[in-house]
Amino acid sequence: MTELTEPRASISAAEFAEGVRKRLVQRWGVDEAAASPVQIYQAASQLVRDRMAPSWKCSNRRMAEGTTRTVGYLSAEYLLGRQLPNALLDAGMTDQFNEAMRELGFDPDDVIEAEHEPGLGNGGLGRLAACFMDSLASLDLPAIGYGIRYRYGIFEQVFDANGRQSEKPDDWLSAGDAWGYRQTERAQRVAFGGQVTEQGGHRVWHPAWSVQAVPYDYPIPGYASGRINTLRLWQSEALDGFDLQRFNQSDYGGAVQAQVRANTISAILYPEDSNTDGKRLRLEQQYFFVAASLADAIATFYHGQAHPDLSALPDHICFQLNDTHPVIGIAELMRILLDDFGYEWAQAWEITQRTFNYTCHTLLPEALEEWPRSLFAELLPRHMEIIERIDADFVRYLRDEQVDQERIDAMRIITRGEDPTIRMAYLATVGSTKVNGVAQLHSRLLQEVTLRDFHTVYPGKFTNVTNGVTPRRFMRLANPRLSDLITEGLGTDSWVADLSKLSGLEPLADDDGFVARFMHVKDDNKRDFALYAQRRYGFSPDPSTMFDVMVKRLHEYKRQSLKILAVIADYSDIIAGGSDNHRAQPRTVIFGAKAAPGYAMAKLTIQLINNVARVINADPRTDGLLKVYFPANYNISMAEHLIPATDLDEQISQAGKEASGTSNMKFALNGALTVGTLDGANVEIREKVGAENFFAFGLNVDQVHALDAEGYAPMAYYDKDARLRAAIDMVASGAFSHGDRDTYRKLVQDWLKHDQFMVMADFGAYMDAQRRIDQAYRQPDQWARKAILNIARCGSFSSDRAVEDYLTRIWMPGTRR
């Protein structure tokens, strides 16, 4: 199907098929006639992996022995998506794979879909880490990603008959791991608990228990760069797994007790997104992977030297802290330098600060991680002492700088009072060279609000790196038709590795032929999605309607409730106006969203969306005008099908709450127009594409603050706006709960009485924006032109650009590549 060129690998389709056959026989003793798609997928992956091995080894050696500073990305989450199609693209084997699969009697798509995507992340933060890994390799930069090999990834979402979410474990390893290499020789011991004593003037930690961290290495191939970096994910195991003594005494549970306890640490990804949750196990997870990673990095660059010169550590590697989850690394490196290698405090601190940088991904105060001091001291007593000293030194420094006491108390790493906590964002800020936000607006608000005092004390520390997304996965792989069209338009496919080249499309926005071809691409993508939805979810969206999409984690600040209230208002309008309704632009509204299992309000919103969909879709008066779908279990694979088929992208968070957003970039680059608030990276997207090609609405950050200050009264909007009243009354009346007026009472009460994220205040502006959108959509060629300009002007939202910014602003300032 695709005409695009790839870097060609020296393998023929026949050799590929033969390689798969050979592996099928060796591993399972089957031939292609007896093999399942999963087995074909496994064998093909193994073949691709085997062929990558020499380059991988070479990249690893270059990293360990080279003089370029390695980037150590520390992240509790990597939301990778399927590995095989990406590896095929990077290795230049897609065509050979496709042909080989047909020769073996399989549909290539079925084999690709046999891969259970590794969902080792929650949402934007984890996907960003995956995009950065891709870009680092594609830019031929030495990098290693460190994280956790969760036995169960992000839960599988299912909806019950009442439209409520329930969760099933994500058993992603059940068919075996086609990409991870267990590296037993690189295992590290990680210790917890116990006491600290004084011995000969030194503090000595006597841990109470420890586990074995065993790494699994995943290849991260670069696109057309030849480099294959490593993602090293740690698995927790017992040091001596099986207690034969106890087993022989018939204590079968006791025999595996240590195993079970140790395995628990890497058992499951916490399904929390932009939210803290103070679980002891989570702290264990964080320390577990960070301690193993630091030890591993030292082993990599110092090969077991007895007296390594660790003052050079920051010349070998710099660690990027992906939010606060790995921030305990600051205390751990201090511990290593002080206790294991005998460095003086001052020098250890200098080395540590030079080694770490911190990325903050939120503005929500409740998302800034804090650990109860008591829990922390129990689990990591030596680290607690170290953090106390860091805190004390910091307070002394602030006093010397004439900072007043009240401000000092507000800035302390360890809070005062009854139940002191450790504020990890503050520790990160004090212990790092650079602190960055993830979009211009976010970085500004970090400096002016969230970390204002720190910015006053360390103005030079703060910087911005606006997020980006990889064009390989989210354009080239997800949208082959658009990719072909872009390549044709530009006369080259070099844009895949240099997205700034998209600006060359700008003149084609005025070329009728190109515009028509773009419209065809979008139509075909919508038809494809309709088939996929039919096959996977049993619904069939009408491709002649506008595809209006809101996909992201379910969170009150993201305001799915604003969207569903607008849908209900439209529905109520349709019912009132009959089928010759003048304004109704036929729409298919598609939601995708998981709620954290303990987040009641988010789960209730999911239930409401499902039931609104049920009622609307069953009402014949909406035929040809409005349909609502909510396929369960939104994940990377669904995104890859849905984003290319989208006309309108919803990015409607309350201004000042979404740090950046990254799906906004993916949609714009795939030729969707955005309806959005002036929040996160929306602001920059709008600046780039032009205000006339972006549907902005709603309160901006200053207006939100002003409204808060004057006293926000949501009820007033309900009283004033008949559309809003109609929508809320409908929910309250039981129209979406089989007549039960209680089901959504909590939601309705919240909208009218509390409404923390000002849905009511923005509703009117949002409805008006949707009517402008209807108007614009009625001129398909004008709409397409805007979409093309979105693509042409969004090249800077490549994660390649983001990584280049990290390089010049954070990792290697002063150098130019």
Query: Which positions are catalytic?
Result: 361, 552-553, 558, 662, 666
Q: Which amino acid is at 151?
A: R
CB closer to ligand GPV out of 214 and 802: 802
d(CA 35, CA 29) in angstroms, rounded, equals 9
Provide the minimum distance between the beta carbon of 554 and ligand GPV in the complex, in angstroms, as a whole number: 12
Does position 273 interact with ligand GPV (CB under 6 A)? The reply is yes
Alpha carbon separation from 394 to 353, 385, 397, 462 (Å, rounded): 13, 14, 5, 18
Does residue 271 touch ligand GPV according to CB under 6 A? no
Nearer to ligand GPV, 51 or 594 (CB): 594
- Binding residues for ligand GPV restricted to 160-219, rule: CB under 6 A: none
Question: Hey, which residues between 467 and 496 contact ligand GPV (CB under 6 A)?
Answer: 467
φ, ψ for residue 587 (rounded to 5)? -135, 150
Least distance in angstroms from the C-beta of 126 to ligand GPV: 7
Burial of residue 429 (CB within 10 Å: 0-12, 13-18, 19+) is: buried
3-state helix/strand/coil string of 69-125: CEEEEECCCEECCCCHHHHHHHHCCHHHHHHHHHHCCCCHHHHHHCCCCCEECCCHH
Close Cβ partners of 530 (under 8 Å, ≥ 6 residues apart): 540, 541, 542, 543
CA dihedral 70, 71, 76, 79 (to 10 degrees): -110
Single residue of 142, 163, 215, 680 touching ligand GPV by CB under 6 A: 680
x-or-dash pattern for ligand GPV, window 300-339, by CB under 6 A? -----------------------x----------------
Which stretch, 238-246, 469-477, 590-598, 659-667, contacts ligand GPV (CB under 6 A)?
Answer: 659-667
**Shortest reach from residue 87's CB to ligand GPV, in Å:** 24
Q: Of 508, 577, 560, 397, give the one whose Cα is nearest residue 789.
A: 508
CB of 4 to ligand GPV, least distance (A): 29
Q: Is 798 in the site for ligand GPV (CB under 6 A)?
A: no
Q: Which residues pair with 166 in a beta bridge?
A: 158
Which is closer to ligand GPV, CB of 98 or CB of 135?
Answer: 135
Which of 120, 125 has the CB closer to ligand GPV? Answer: 125
DSSP SS3 for 152: strand
Q: What per-residue string of b and e applies to 284-301 under the rule 16 or more CB within 10 Å gives b? A: bbbbbbbbbbbbbbbebb
Residue of the chain from 479, 560, 660, 770 that contacts ligand GPV (CB under 6 A): 660
**C-beta closer to ligand GPV: residue 219 or 656:** 656
Do 461 and 437 contact (CB within 8 A), yes or no? no
Token pair recorded at residue 460: 């030079």
Please provide residue 251's backbone torsions phi and psi, each rounded to the nearest 5 degrees: -90, 80
Residue 156 neighbours by CB under 8 Å, 6+ apart: 167, 168, 169, 170, 633
Which residue lies nearer to ligand GPV by CB, 467 or 635?
467
For the chain, helix, strand, coil in percent to 5 are 55, 15, 30
Q: How near is the Cβ of 314 to ligand GPV at its closest, in Å? A: 24
Least distance from ligand GPV to the Cβ atom of residue 51, Å: 33
Looking at 46, 266, 654, 662, which residue binds ligand GPV (CB under 6 A)? 662
Would you say 11 or 550 has its CB closer to ligand GPV? Answer: 550
Axis-axis angle for helices 37-65, 84-91 (nearest 10): 60
Give the residue closest to ligand GPV by C-beta.
Answer: 124
Q: How far is the CB of 578 from ligand GPV (least distance, A)?
A: 42
Q: Among 147, 167, 164, which residue's Cα sits nearest to residue 156?
A: 167
CB of 215 to ligand GPV, least distance (A): 24
Rounded to the nearest whole angstrom, what is the least distance from the CB of residue 20 to ligand GPV in the complex? 37
Instruction: Choose which of 111, 178, 262, 367 interacts with ligand GPV (CB under 6 A).
Output: 367
User: Mapping DSSP to helix (H, G, I), strand (E, B) and coil, where does residue 689 land?
Assistant: helix
Q: Report if residue 801 touches ligand GPV, rule: CB under 6 A.
A: no
Cα separation of 770 and 289, whole Å?
46
CB of 367 to ligand GPV, least distance (A): 5
Both tokens assigned to 340 = 């294991």
Minimum CB separation of residue 103 from ligand GPV in Å reads: 42
437 binds ligand GPV (CB under 6 A): no
CA–CA dist 405, 413 (Å, integer): 14
The residue type found at 700 is: N
Nearer to ligand GPV, 170 or 658 (CB): 658
Min. distance of Cβ 326 from ligand GPV in angstroms? 13
148 binds ligand GPV (CB under 6 A): no
89 versus 669: smaller Cβ distance to ligand GPV: 669
Applying CB under 6 A, what is the total number of residues that bind ligand GPV? 19
Q: SS3 of 436, please?
A: strand
List the helix and strand counts (H, then E) for the chain: 34, 24
What CA–CA distance (Å, rounded) separates 532 from 642?
9
User: Concatenated DSSP letters for 716-752?
Assistant: HHHHH-HHHHHHHHHHHTTTTTTT-SSTTHHHHHIII
| Contacts with ligand GPV, 107-126, as mask; x by CB under 6 A | ---------------xxxx-
β-strands 648-651, 673-676: how paired? Answer: parallel
CA 181: distance to chain centroid?
Answer: 24
Q: Identify which of residues 165 and 682 has a Cβ nearer to ligand GPV in the complex.
A: 682
Q: Can you tell me which residue has the tokens 């005409």? A: 3
Q: Does 438 bind ligand GPV (CB under 6 A)?
A: yes
Considering only 359-367, 403-411, 509-517, 688-696, which stretch makes contact with ligand GPV by CB under 6 A?
A: 359-367
Q: Select from 295, 496, 643, 659 the one that contacts ligand GPV (CB under 6 A).
A: 659
Map the footprint of ligand GPV across residues 10-69, applying CB under 6 A. Answer: none
**783 Rama sector, left if φ>0, alpha if ψ -120 to 50, beta otherwise:** alpha
**Cβ atoms of residues 509 and 788 within 8 Å:** yes
Task: Name the token pair of 16.
Answer: 């590929």
Alpha-carbon distance of 138 to 229, in angstroms, equals: 9
How many angstroms separate the CA atoms of 692 and 199, rounded? 70
CB nearer to ligand GPV: give 484 or 800: 800
- Based on the shown chain and the rule CB under 6 A, indicate whether residue 661 belongs to the binding site for ligand GPV: yes
Asked if 658 touches ligand GPV (CB under 6 A), the answer is yes
In the complex, minimum distance from the CB of residue 242 to ligand GPV, in angstroms, rounded to a whole number: 37
- Give the range of 361-369, 449-457, 494-502, 771-779 binding ligand GPV by CB under 6 A: 361-369
For ligand GPV, give the closer residue by CB, 128 or 648: 128
Strand-pairing partners, residue 143, are 71
Examine residue 362 and tell whether it contacts ligand GPV (CB under 6 A): yes
Residue with tokens 């919508």: 526
Query: Is the sign of the CA dihedral 428, 429, 430, 431 positive or negative?
Result: positive
Nearer to ligand GPV, 63 or 643 (CB): 643
Binding site for ligand GPV (CB under 6 A): 122-125, 128, 273-274, 323, 361-362, 367, 438, 467, 658-662, 680
